[in-house]
Structure 1
Amino acid sequence: MKLFIALATLVVLAAGQNTYTSENDDVAEALISNPETLKVLFNCLLDKGPCDKTQTFIKTFMPEAIQQACAKCSADQKVILKKFLAGLKDHYPADYEVYKQKFDPENKYFVPLYKVIA
């Protein structure tokens, strides 16, 4: 019985790692909804400014999310990432290019990413 409980716990833990946690989704949505806070998030992601707890969380998974075409993102997180990229591109086009260069210098991740978040 103990072996069964241990195996069940491992399965649950492994399954939980297939997606990013959604605990900061509401805060992330608020960050990207305002051009000023969007710029603050951009500065955090590019090490140009300080990061709060939520921004640090976003910063930790962002490279993987881009490289893996948001494979671990929930449907809501895909929408948030799409809004983030669109907001950055619309409000700060030069920063968008800097962002793309940092996270996709070989220009091979953004095409698959945009297909997934479309």
Structure 2
Amino acid sequence: METDEIEKLETIKRLTSSCLSTLRPVDNKNRIHSAEIKVYDYYELASVIRNLMKLCVVALDHDGAEVPVTIENRSIDVGLILGIALQLFPIDEFELLNEISILFPVDHDQMINEKTENQKENFKDTSEK
């Protein structure tokens, strides 16, 4: 391997260990991972769950499009739901992708030519059948 390629691989290894932080392995056998959300207490956790459920009720009820009157607090705290989504958003992983794209710039003309060739091959294969 060239020295430049070795340096790129070492950079990717370093970035991977610092940037891949959203998912954590739970069990290597099943390839299961966990993602963490942070809440202040059980009450906030309950609020998150209730708001997610109310949001789902509204999403399922196309005609009524509102939380049923039998639910005590009918308003949906969309900000709370979006806050959870932001906690789960893998920003570090996007930083890694950005660094990889800098290390390995794409030649767009070559990529377009390869796609065109692949499409021609696929068309040729399907027309011969």
Shorter-chain-normalised TM-score: which range?
under 0.3
* TM-score after normalising by structure 2: 0.26
Compare the two structures and name the one with the higher strand fraction.
2
Larger radius of gyration: 2
* TM-score after normalising by structure 1: 0.28
Compare the two structures and name the one with the higher helix fraction.
1
